[in-house]
Amino acid sequence: MSNIETFGGIYVAMYSAYDESGEVDAERVKKLARYYVGKGIKGLYVGGSSGEGILQTAEERKRTLEAVMAEIRGELKVIVHVGANSTRESEELSRHAELHGADAISAVPAIYYRLSEAAVENHWQRMIDSSRLPFLIYNIPQTTGFQLSTNLLRKLAAQPKVIGVKMSGESTFELQQYKVAGGDDFLVFNGPDEQFLAGRIMGADGGIGGTYGVMPELFVKLNELYANGRVAEAQRLQYDINAVIKKLLAYPSLYGAAKYILSLRGVETGQPRLPLLPIREEHRESIAALNDDILALVARCGDR
């Protein structure tokens, strides 16, 4: 099978799952992973921005992945974000992902230091060489300060293990350029949830997103509508999704709001880790109303 057939589709960027003391809770991780089985998604992206991987120790990231794999291995594809500031730690997480049966690994560049392209290439190459798993570049320049060039992408994509890029930059033109540079079987995942449809139109093979976590069915439906040529309907659904995203972004903590929505559905994941803020007491009522709106939208999509 091609890389696109094997990996293309909708991936929930999975949230963190902590106990009441803020420690990784394996049972909550398992319950969260199980929640997404049967939603129609292709898989989970574990330990990325939504999963707070950058805020966790290597041991916490390992414990999270082990719980995910113990619960849903073979039922969903699992892509693990192994990026860390230290190349050594990234290599360690890469080997761990392979050992525990993940399907692929992915990484942002190291943050804080303004690294040269050669330094970023070496950082990623060490991860690629550390395991036999396929590797997915993660480009998110607005947070890392590093803009992936098409030249570097083309160079990395020449390696069989480098199968694609998660494009979380805001330009669909650059997304399209990455698709051209990578070649026909090079995966491009749309990152910005609010422009999923635009990304698909410009060549993305699927999407990986954080807000998918509270409305996976809507992104699965959106992807289906586009794939079936029902673009006008897809546009209307993207508008509905964007109305939800706009409301989520209005809260001081997107992840706090999303995790509270899941708790209303019986999936407890604790609070986000500081410096990410928890939700405020005065926002609980409006977030509950937003949850009702999401569920009603899901129900309407099921009738289409």
Asked whether 11 and 41 are in contact (CB, 8 A), the reply is yes
How far is Cα 191 from Cα 140, in angstroms, rounded to an integer? 8
Angle of helix 216-227 relative to helix 284-302, nearest 10 degrees? Answer: 30
How far is Cα 227 from Cα 18, in angstroms, rounded to an integer? 37
CA 10 to chain centroid: 9
Angle of helix 284-302 relative to helix 231-249, nearest 10 degrees? Answer: 170
Would you call the peptide bond into 272 cis, given omega within 30 degrees of 0 as the criterion? Answer: no
Active site residue 166: yes
State the amino acid at position 128 in one-letter form: I
CA 264 to chain centroid: 22
List the structure tokens of 211: 């807000």
113 exposure class (CB count in 10 Å sphere: 0-12, 13-18, 19+) = exposed
Angstrom CA distances, 291 to 112, 164, 286, stand at: 36, 33, 9
With a CB cutoff of 8 Å and minimum separation 6, the contacts of 237 are 218, 221, 222, 225, 301
Collapse the DSSP code of 9 into the 3-class scheme (helix H, G, I; strand E, B; otherwise coil) and give the result. Answer: strand
Which one is catalytic: 42, 62, 77, 166?
A: 166
Largest CA distance in the chain: 52
Which one is catalytic: 15, 45, 138, 226?
A: 138
**Could you give the residue numbers annotated as active site?**
138, 166
